Amino acid sequence: MHDDDHRQELEPLWQDVRSRLRASVPESTYRLWLEPLRVTGARGRTLHIRAPDGIRAWVERRYSSLIREGLAGAGADFDEISFGAIEGDGDERDEDTQLNPHYSFDRFVIGEGNRLAHAAALAVAEAPSEAYNPLFLHGPPGLGKTHLLVAIANYLRIHAPELEVRYTTAERFTNEFVTALRCSGSERFKERHRDLDVLLVDDVQFLEGKHATEEEFFHTFNALYESGSQLVLSADRLPSELSTLAERLRDRFEWGLTVPVDHPDLATRLTVLRRLAREAGLEAASREALAELAGRIDTNVRRLRGALTKVIAHSSITEEPLSPELVAEVVPRMRRAGGADPVEEIQTLVSSSFGISTADLIGPSRAAGPVRARHVAILLTREHTALSLPEIGQRFGGRDHSTVLNSLRRAEAAIGDDDKLLARVNSLRMSIHSPADPTG
């Protein structure tokens, strides 16, 4: 059976399971942890479930048995559930069929740091190829670039369904290109990426250093641009700062409109938190608690969401009310640039905690101790700085983007399985941002 057909066949079952889950937990718990889950397919007697990265480890550890009970109650014939992708399922349909429906223009919180980016993205969605082509959004991770790219795709699918629109990432573009060269040849790949009205590509910095993929993307860009198709691109920095990318590609990225996406101001952070709290079923969430949280994290929306999730989880487990005092206990202040180098601080603290040298932490050692410590240090660097994945890799011995991403996934999985490691990581989190001055 075709995978799409299989997913559609499972959907009524999953709706039944979701109803059972909703009835068995508080509404806020359901909305925060269980509502985002999606069934991606099944192999044998194993049901495969997709969960957002930020909650996967927690859901797998805390709610697997509850999901199994829901499946049994719905009469499902599955012995196991898996939160990983089905092998071979990361195919060309994923980004086309599973765009996040919550990424819309209506749900994008506008502030001073992203007002121009939002306006430009909406202009492109309303008039593809007539406003700005290409549109290039740049800024640190977690500020909403992906939200805007997917919002364009979702808008066009509703208002211009006749257009061929595709959202992808530079990493997926690279992987598909390599697979095409190895297996099916490049012609089908070219047809898939060039026979489009709108192409949206996230994280184009991932193309750096991949010369064959750069060449293919260069020709893809030219073919689409010359045919009048709309291109929308994003990166963690300006095109001119993508230093190892071919100059002719950097030049093309600047042909249209280049717009920064900056850190959210306090008012924007408060608006985001109120919306997230409302969506989690916390209608009566303490305004003082949300204000305290907004004041503690000024880096990006992604970390703001993660911090609120952590506070709500702590409140649920300990049955403490959501309050400024609870926020202060659970969430350390996060600093942006300035003062001591936060990466060096993290590396020193983690090395000391794990009883290894900083050289072993950063270096090529594959021994279990340094590897685990390195994964933790990379996770904390991701959480407590605004560095991109390539920038983090450079600070950890020149590792590449995919290695850093793998380290993050392995750290999250390890923390979800090991209470002692989780306690150690939480202790480190508190230590990292214990500021010397009272202002943080």
Whether residue 165 has pLDDT greater than 90? yes
Q: What is the pLDDT of residues 220-275, one digit of tens each?
A: 999 999 999 999 999 988 888 887 677 888 888 889 999 998 888 888 888 888 88
Name the CATH superfamily housing domain 94-260. P-loop containing nucleotide triphosphate hydrolases (3.40.50.300)
pLDDT above 90 as % of the chain: 18
Band (85; pLDDT cuts 50, 70, 90): very low
Q: What is the pLDDT of residues 178-190, one digit of tens each?
A: 888 877 667 778 8
Segments making up each domain of the chain, as ranges:
3-82, 94-260, 266-330, 342-432
* CB contact set of 271 (below 8 Å; sequence gap of 6+): 109, 111
Band (6; pLDDT cuts 50, 70, 90): low
Whether residue 4 has pLDDT greater than 50? no
pLDDT above 70 as % of the chain: 88
- Whole-number pLDDT of residue 313: 77
User: Residue 360's CB: how many other CB atoms inside 10 A?
Assistant: 17
- Whole-number pLDDT of residue 84: 58
- Whole-number pLDDT of residue 230: 95
Q: What is the pLDDT of residues 292-320, one digit of tens each?
A: 888 877 777 777 887 888 788 777 777 77
Band (167; pLDDT cuts 50, 70, 90): very high
Band (3; pLDDT cuts 50, 70, 90): very low
- Whole-number pLDDT of residue 340: 56
Band (338; pLDDT cuts 50, 70, 90): very low
Band (279; pLDDT cuts 50, 70, 90): confident
Sequential DSSP letters for 173-228: HHHHHHHHHHTT-HHHHHHHHHS-SEEEEE-GGGGTT-HHHHHHHHHHHHHHHHTT
Torsion of CA 116, 122, 125, 128, to 10 degrees: -40
Whether residue 7 has pLDDT greater than 60? no
- Whole-number pLDDT of residue 88: 40
What CATH architecture applies to the domain 342-432?
A: Orthogonal Bundle (1.10)
- Whole-number pLDDT of residue 74: 85
Q: What is the pLDDT of residues 344-378, one digit of tens each?
A: 889 988 998 899 888 889 888 888 899 999 999 99
Whether residue 94 has pLDDT greater than 50? no
Give this prediction's pTM: 0.61
3-82 folds as: GMP Synthetase; Chain A, domain 3 (3.30.300)
Q: What is the pLDDT of residues 188-206, one digit of tens each?
A: 788 888 889 999 999 988 8
Q: What is the pLDDT of residues 23-74, one digit of tens each?
A: 888 777 787 788 888 888 887 788 888 877 667 777 877 788 889 888 888 8
Residue range 133-148: mean pLDDT, rounded: 89
Question: Between residues 99 and 130, which one has the greater pLDDT?
Answer: 130
266-330 folds as: Helicase, Ruva Protein; domain 3 (1.10.8)
Query: What distances in angstroms separate CA 260 from CA 147, 236, 272, one per listed residue?
Result: 14, 10, 20
What is the pLDDT of the chain when averaged over all its residues?
81
Give the C-alpha separation, 263 to 9, whole Å.
43
Residue 153, helix vs strand vs coil: helix
Pairing of strands 38-43, 46-50: antiparallel
User: Residue 319's CB: how many other CB atoms inside 10 A?
Assistant: 6
Question: Between residues 152 and 384, which one has the greater pLDDT?
Answer: 152
